[in-house]
Every structure is written in structure tokens, then in C-alpha cells.
Structure 1
């Protein structure tokens, strides 16, 4: 099959040959589009995709592109890469060429195609081959043109055919078009996103509909052999990316389609697969009972097994067929191997819990860093991660045993604020944002300010959720002899010139217990002179809001995480200092975050306490102005200082 790919480059079919008419057309379009979009880095003349389910069950993914390179930023258009899964798909390069400004045509040759093992992490082992094509002589001013077909000639289940197409990219497009084709007699069910002025995403993920000429309704062409659904947009404005947006999949116009109007087929297909792989063997039975021992409560049993799977089953992905890629290997296979990927670990976790009477199911998610796939609008069967729905106290909860650092009942932030598919139960469930308290950093700090302006500071810190996993994982990964240096760096970030006196770390490798961090340090000049006063700042009091950098964004925003941070800081001042001013109590609350802070003065002792909570991940564009105004109030408050005088 790989040889077939190379041979395809030796001759271009007549319909794909370069013509003078196309050269004239592209030059005309370039002149027109450059005038309309003078800041464009490239111009897209054609963005065309066709996805076909054939009558014999093959899936053809055809794509054709033509564009003009205007800056270094779009020279990458001359490079294409594919993944070839042996026994499943092959690539047919229809044509690929660049045209220099003087009209010289540079056709690709088989020598421009290379094959290699795909770039893999140390924990991924696939069975495929990476194929890449470098179109010759692509430079600023070049026109790039190519077309290819990625043919799944042996899909494991053609009924899972689920085409989709996105119409907008970072550069203007004259024509963006997609066609979905199914055999005659089959119906395609589809949902469009951001193609209609009444789309519910408007006011949420995006301020207004992007500019283009086109309609959300397809042109449907029926023949004796097939039905073709066509969407065509013209003069599509470029998508100007903004940091901290909700993700490309929720801000770009798109259409998604499939062979079924609901999840019934997918529930049956994957539910059967998951149930089959959660097979209890004598080894799994005895292991589960040994792990929980004499524990009686549901939560205790779940916690022990949760921690055991995380720490004893290494994350390594070895995938081939759909059954193992999407359904995980049989639980016993993963146990025997002592390794597996997310779906493998989810299957084994459910099997172990089933032995001890706990209801648990593998579930499929599209993590929130990949955007927000609204499964309630369209029956999207796929995902990029597998975790678990686990029941205790009569309620469903989510746990993720993929990693090896989360203490029960916390799990990865990427698994929340999304819809997941529980195929075993036949349900689509919304999992809300993780409560802020379940992803926290809390600290108690004592500051002794001496008469000469130096200070001794001691800190105790504890964590939950991703914060705990991050700190625990960092120290576990680093050699123990480097721990002191790491804490020294931590101290220097808190106060310039700080000298570490002592430190202690607890429960680095025992994820069933809280990870604790304690350290003390000294600073020679702790206060800041300001005229007749000395300024005192609360250690490590800083809150950032990178999502509010724009005054008038076009897209809704996404916070990195729900989160809680608390400070409890006590300043003990030498007798030669007098407290002249402390900031007033501050309290603010909205739908997305809240903050409360307070200073108490008792003679020469000052106590500062605060609590900051991020409660939601996604900030709709309609609420952005209020969100930004409230965030700026918090940032202004934490910059205020304590004023002292010195006798």
C-alpha cells in the first residue's frame, strides 16, 4: 500500500492538471482578496472537503486546497502529513504543486514523500506509519495547490461514519465547501454550528456570526447510487484567534453529521463492547478483595482501588483494533500487562469495583481543552479520553484513574464542564465544573518582623486536586537531592533575597494522604520604604486573570481551572513599629468567582485572611464586561499594602 502512494505521484489525472485558466483565475482572485484583506498572511482560494461512505462500506476522505502564500507564516501550506494505519487506510495524492510568481509550475514527485515512524511519547506504541509530503519551491508569493484522498478501505464499522467540516481558518477564504455522500437509501442526520444567526452559541462562545455568504441548509442531490449533502460558503472572513478562547470547535462555523439521529446505535455498539471487556476473572476477584481488606464503607473501598489502579498500572498505550482503541483491552489483559492507556485503566477500574459491590462504568469524554462538544445538540459518539462514572452515597461521581497522582475523590480538571457518554447505561450526562474546594492551594504563614527590618517567615501549605497532583508529581519526579534547590527557588520567587532555613515535604509518594509542604526562610530587608512609611506586603498574594487582556473580545473565554486559594497570614511586629493603615475588608461575588479578604489588627499583630474561588470555567461573551470589571477590582485590591511607621 505504501508503494501505491509513491506510484500515484508519477502521473496526474487530466482533471487535476494545471491549466492557464486556473492560473488566470488565481491571479484575479489574489488581486481582489489582497485589496479586501491587506493584513492577510495568506489567501485561500479553495478549501474543499468531501467525505463519502460507499455502498461497499469504504470511507473516502477527499480534500483539495489552493492558496497564495503572502508571509512566512503560511509557508507551512507546502507541507502535509498523514497517518497510515496498516490494513485500514491508504493515501492517494491526487496532485500537489507550487506555482512561482513568474508562473513556473513545480510538480511534486515521489521523492518529495517520506515515510517514518510517527513521533510518539515514551508511553505510546501504535501500529501505523507517518507519511509526509513537502511540495517543492514553496516561498512567499507562491500559489500552493494540492489534493488527496484518505481512503479507509477496511473500516471496522462503517456505521460509525460521522463526517464533519469546519469552514473558517486564520486566513480569508474565497470558497469553503464540503460534501457528505452516503449510499442511496441511507439518510444523513446533521447539525450545523454557527451557520445561522439564531445559533445558541451566539452570545455565549462568540459575539456575532462570522461574515460569509452562504446558508445553513445544504443542497441535497439524489442519484440512483447516492445522496450528496453540500454546504458552500463564500468570502469567509479570517478567524482572528484570541488567547483563552473556548476552543476552535466552538467558535468556527461547522457542520457535523452521522447515520443516526440519536445515540441508540452507539449505546448498543460500545455498551456491549465495554460490558464484554469488564469481565471478572478469579485473579481480578481476589485482587479486589485483597485491596479493600476489611474496609466497609463505599468511599473507603473506592478510594483504595482508585489509588491502587493509579499507582500500579502504568500508563502506556498499545493500540490496534477499534475494540482496544475505544473499548479498552479486557480487564485481565491490562492486569497481566501492568500497563494500559485511559480506556484500559477505566475498564480494569470498573471491574475491580464491581467485585466489591460498587457500581462503576467506563465513560467517554472530549476533554475541555479540546473545546466544548455539545452532545445534547448532536449525537457525537467519539472522544479523546476514557474515565469512569462511579456511584457512592446514591449519587454518580466522576473519577479518572489514568494518571498516578490524584487523591480520592479528586480527578483531572480536563474531565469536567462537558457531556460524557456512558454507553453501558445508555446515557449522555453533563458533568459540571469541579468544585473549587476540590482543586485548591491553602497556606498558613507566620511573619516575624524584627526591629532591624529583617524577617523570619514560616509557611505551611496543603493542596487538593490538580494543584496537589502537580506539586506532588513535580517533587516525586525530581531526585530527592534536588528538593532543597527547588524549595530555594520557590522562596526566591516569593521574596527577593530570601534565604531558605529549613523545609519538609510529606506524603510525596503516598497519594492516599495529603501532600504537605513546609518551609521557613529569612529576609534582610522585608519592608519597602515609601516616604515616612514602611510598606508591608502579604507573601504570595497575587491573582491573575489572563483571560481579560482584551477590552472588547469577539469570543467567550475559558479559565484554566476552577480553583480555590486561601491565605492565613499573621504578622508579628517588633515594638519599634506602629501600624498606620491596613486595607479595608473586601468582598465580591458573581456567578464565576468570588473573593473575600480581611485584615485584623491587635496591637502589633496583624492577621490577614482571604479566600478566592473560581467557580466556572467558561465565561460567555455576554458576561465578559462585568467579569472583567470585577476581576480588575480584585487585582487592584491585592496590590494595596500595609503602612507602618518606625520609631
Structure 2
């Protein structure tokens, strides 16, 4: 982070911009040619925040955006301002259009619509203000002034009127301010006025900003300004934009320990994990006959995962960081992540185990500053030896794990009574997520391929296979079986021999089928057969839309980290019996690549049998730009083998082999 501490005040703050000032700023903002063909440019984005003693924040937000193209005009014709009535209120003070022809047009605040926010799975009564800006032309400027009271995330409602906008950590303040946009930004500024006794700490990430931090009239005033932002070029498969784009984080929380203790105390005071007779009876039933704590924790985790439906309904008190009482979740058999986590905490306690709730940020990195960077709730089991185990009933339906390895390299805050520091979950080794595809086949002289396909897996690779079935009707499971081959070869004839029960998590998933593919190899006029070994084409990966086949490899270098679903180990093997007396030409050379992406591949002919063996290892979930060449190289070589044809030539009086 680069900062410049300013000595003088910013003249633009606190003053209503005159029309001449606005028009001059619009004129200086340039055209689409100046901004790489962008549809619009943000001339300024200014937020002025005042924090009260209670922690309640009042924000005046001024934006001025210039239309640069017809597409930008369409996008700016309507502005949406989302908010949650439990935690914030938004008022449109002014919306004014500065026409390129010199005229003005005001949109009356009375025209602003207050609509329910489109929702799915989580129905927490969030809303959005719709500002009907109307038809615009290239060169027009749209000025919008709003006032917001409250905070960003939907937390616990605290009472009537504006008291409900006070953050749950009463007296504390935090904010997370994106300093990025889909459009170029000439100037973005954020100013906060706060009592010096609140010990505000802040940090600017992923860019350079000008910072002014001074005392004015008994208040501490911090102003952060960034100029000349250009949108980041997106890269396919990259991490979340917030992990790489400029942003400002502010908080008055002393440290993560204090945040963890507060989170713990909120739940205990509210009684989120109170064990009722009904909860005790459920725990006793689930753990009956289980001898070890590990067995009990596993059984309870999977019971919550499979029996508490993921759905969020507005229940008033208890939203946000306060977990609903477990008795309510048990009654409703439904809830969001915090309800599932809280249900598991109560069941673990009912079974005599020590458990608490924790917080994380699924899909994004938590920076090391104790602002409220959380969107997901988990369970923390503390074992008799005082070590802790993370459990996540939200992410493990149909998964043999208790903590989803799709959450590796992710920050976690454990809500322990003594507090905890921010931790990062470790990398899960690829060997914990194996996918083994084995084919034993025979090639006929007419090009027909017959044989058996066996698939075994564990960890997240196991879960990916089960997901194909669990998302389909049982009556369609036969089609899922067939797809392990028909997704690649539509003419394949498949007969299922064995399939694990997709709902039985006690054993790794296993599938076996017999198949026949007429005309698999292309027959040439001289009787030769041209084909790519079936296993090298990774038919199961095609059915799974696996990342080893789908991750974009176009860029040799990347600016941003790349993210896949999970570390994994893919083993492919085939023993292909060749027609008698044939010779194989074009056998690919062996491959041996090490690193964050690793590949070992061998193809050889032994006694009339073509043997193919490939092992691909993807070391982790998130790869840095420095690790990209290794990952890309392994995947590129893996895919090249999937397209490398061999030729099986008819015998010429000698035993089959390779040339």
C-alpha cells in the first residue's frame, strides 16, 4: 500500500458543487477514446461519513457519472440502491441530469421506487431503491446524491426507529469500501469523521491512495482519495475481485481476539445453543452405539447437513451475526449457514462435546484487519486435548468430509470464549481427493471398442460424482451412469455392473460398467485404425465438466491468482488389447512435470496390449501468478495427450508391437 499524507484540506469537501464546477468536471472527463472505449466514466465518487457515539454511521454519497456511449446510456438509465431495512435506510436527495446541450433535468425524489429485492433461498426482506434516471445521450452527466444511515451487512435488529441501525458491537464502527468500478474513475474519495477516543484503524489494499488523517474541531477526520482508476482486466478463473482490486477497510475493533469474544458472547447471551429435551433426544438417537467422539461428531455433522434444508426466512430478532436458537431450527428443519452451524453446536453439546460457532468469508480473502469481512458461519469442535476441528454442515451435504476442502486457504475466526486470532485453513493434499478411472478394453479389427470402465474416488472428487446423481431424479440415475461414456461418445452402449449408493457416505463412491463403442477407431483404406486411447480422453472428466479439461489456459502469464474448486489427484489407466499381429505407431512420449501442477504419463505396448498410465496432481485450490506456469504446463500436456492419436496397423507377418 502506498500512501501520501496530505497537509491541506480537500477543497471539494463540505461544499455543494456549483453548476459551472460540475460542467467543467464533465468536460475534463474526456470521451470514450480517452478511456479505452468505456461506456461511462465516474467523474467523482465522494462519501462523507459521520460516526456517532453509538457507532451509528450517517453517510452522504455524491456521484457524478458521464455517459460515453449508447451502452453506457442504457446502463445509467436506471440506478438501483440495495439496502436491508433491518440495518440501513437510504434516501435519494437529488438526481440531476446535466445534458450535453447545456440544459438540466431533475428527477424528483418522489419518482424513486422502493421495491422488494429479487431473492432466492434467503428471504430476509431486503429491498432496493430504484431511481428512474430516464433516457440519456452521449455526453450527458448524471449526478446522484443519497443519504444512508446504518451499516452494510444485515445484522441483528436492535429496537425501534434509528436504534436498529446501530451496529451490534455497540459503540464500534467499521466499513468496507470498494475503490473499484466497472467504469474508469477520475476521483474517488472517502471521508470519515469520528471521535478520536474510538481508536479508528484503517488500511488501503491493492493500490495507491492519498491519505489525510488529522484532528478537526474535536473530531478525528480521515480522508482517503484515489485518482485515475481504470477497471481491472478480468481473467477467467481468477479469484474474487475484492482479493485484487483497490479497497479501504476501517474498524474500531481492537483486534481479532476482541471480535471473536464478542461473537461468542452474543450467542451465549441470546441462548442460541440452548439444549432442549427435543435436541437432547435427537442427539442421543443419532449417536446411539457410537463409541468415539470422532464418530459422534461425524454423525451429527452429516445429520445436520442432510436434514436441515438450506433456506432463509425473515424472523425478526436473530438475523445477521446472532444465530437463531437451535430449537427454532430443529422445529423448522430449515435455515441458512448460521442456523445449520448453530444446530450442530447444540447437538454436539447435547452429546457431551465442546462446540462453538465461527465465521469465515466463503469465496473471498479476509484481510488482516478486524473489520466485519464475513459471509458464512461454521462450527468449531474443541476436542479433549484442546485442539479444534472445523465442521461445516452447510457445505458437506453429499460430501464424505466434515469440513469442505473447497474452503481450503480460507480465513476463519473461531468464536471461542477466550477469543482467537484470525487463522487460515491449510491446503488439503491432492491425495485426499483422488479420482481413479481404469479401463480394460479390446479393439476389434473393424474399430469397435469393448471393455469395462471402473471409477473410484474420495474427498471432493467423490462428492463431484455423487452430485451428478443427487441433483437428478432416481429414475434418471441410469442416464447419469451412461453419461460417464456418452458425454464423450454418444454412440456408446453402456451396461451398469455396479454403482455405490450416492446417499451412502460411509464408503467411497465406486462405479463399474461394461461398454461397447462401435466405430470408435477410424478405419483407413489400408485397414489401419486411428484412435486416441479412451482413458486419455478422460470421459469421466467430460461428464463432470472437470477443471482439468475446462480451465482456460490461453494466457501464458497471469496478473491475478487463479482459483479452482479443490486440490485433486487424477489417475487414468487403460489396458487396451490390440487386434492380433498389429503394430502401433505414434505412441506419445512420456511426460514428467513437477510443481504446483504435476503430471506423470507413460504409454507403451507390452505383448499386444497398449498400456496407458497418467497421474495428474493439482496441489491446491488457489495458485499465485508465479505458480501459474507450472499449473498451466501440466494441464496443457494433459490435454494434448487427450488429442494425441495413435495408428494401429494390420500385421505384416510379425508379432504386434510399437514402432
TM-score range, shorter chain: 0.7 to 0.9
Contact 1:314 1:340 in 2 (8 A): yes
Aligned partner of 1:364 among 339, 349, 359: 359
State the match for 1:265 in structure 2: 258
The total of aligned residue pairs comes to 607
Cα distance 1:629–1:485, how it changes in 2: closer, same or farther (>3 A)?
closer
SS at match of 1:548: coil
State the match for 1:421 in structure 2: 413
2:193 is equivalent to residue 195 of structure 1: no
* Superposition deviation, residue 299 in structure 1: 2.7
State the match for 2:623 in structure 1: 619
Quick one: distance in 2 between partners of 1:594 and 1:629? 8
Question: What TM-score, normalized to structure 1?
Answer: 0.86
SS at match of 2:577: strand
Cα distance 1:293–1:263, how it changes in 2: closer, same or farther (>3 A)?
same
State the match for 1:206 in structure 2: none
Quick one: distance in 2 between partners of 1:168 and 1:225? 32
SS at match of 2:29: helix
Alignment of 1:490-505 (within 5 A): 490-502=484-496, 505=499
State the match for 2:598 in structure 1: 594
State the match for 2:140 in structure 1: 142
The CA deviation string for residues 150-207 of structure 1, in whole angstroms up to 9 with x for no partner, is 21233243444211323232332221111122135322111221235xxxxxxxxxxx
2:519 is equivalent to residue 525 of structure 1: yes
Quick one: distance in 2 between partners of 1:568 and 1:626? 23
2:453 is equivalent to residue 454 of structure 1: no
2:18 is equivalent to residue 26 of structure 1: no
Cα distance 1:530–1:580, how it changes in 2: closer, same or farther (>3 A)?
same
State the match for 1:378 in structure 2: 369
State the match for 1:8 in structure 2: none
Cα distance 1:47–1:450, how it changes in 2: closer, same or farther (>3 A)?
same
Cα distance 1:632–1:125, how it changes in 2: closer, same or farther (>3 A)?
closer
Cα distance 1:63–1:324, how it changes in 2: closer, same or farther (>3 A)?
same
State the match for 2:95 in structure 1: 96
> What runs of 5+ residues in structure 2 fail to find an aligned partner?
1-13, 151-161, 539-547, 652-659
* Superposition deviation, residue 384 in structure 1: 0.8
SS at match of 2:321: helix
* Superposition deviation, residue 628 in structure 1: 3.6
2:276 is equivalent to residue 281 of structure 1: yes
Quick one: distance in 2 between partners of 1:538 and 1:246? 35
Quick one: distance in 1 between partners of 2:207 and 2:22? 29
Aligned partner of 1:242 among 232, 235, 240: 235
State the match for 2:656 in structure 1: none
Quick one: distance in 1 between partners of 2:102 and 2:353? 70
Alignment of 1:534-549 (within 5 A): 534-540=529-535, 541-542=537-538, 543-544=548-549, 546-549=551-554
Question: What TM-score, normalized to structure 2?
Answer: 0.84
* Superposition deviation, residue 110 in structure 1: 4.1
Aligned partner of 1:222 among 193, 215, 223: 215
2:194 is equivalent to residue 178 of structure 1: no
SS at match of 1:178: strand
Cα distance 1:159–1:476, how it changes in 2: closer, same or farther (>3 A)?
same
Contact 1:170 1:241 in 2 (8 A): no
Cα distance 1:409–1:358, how it changes in 2: closer, same or farther (>3 A)?
farther
Cα distance 1:77–1:61, how it changes in 2: closer, same or farther (>3 A)?
farther
Quick one: distance in 1 between partners of 2:70 and 2:408? 38
Contact 1:171 1:239 in 2 (8 A): no
Quick one: distance in 2 between partners of 1:329 and 1:344? 6
* Superposition deviation, residue 589 in structure 1: 1.5
> What runs of 5+ residues in structure 1 fail to find an aligned partner?
1-13, 197-213
State the match for 1:407 in structure 2: 399
Cα distance 1:159–1:382, how it changes in 2: closer, same or farther (>3 A)?
farther
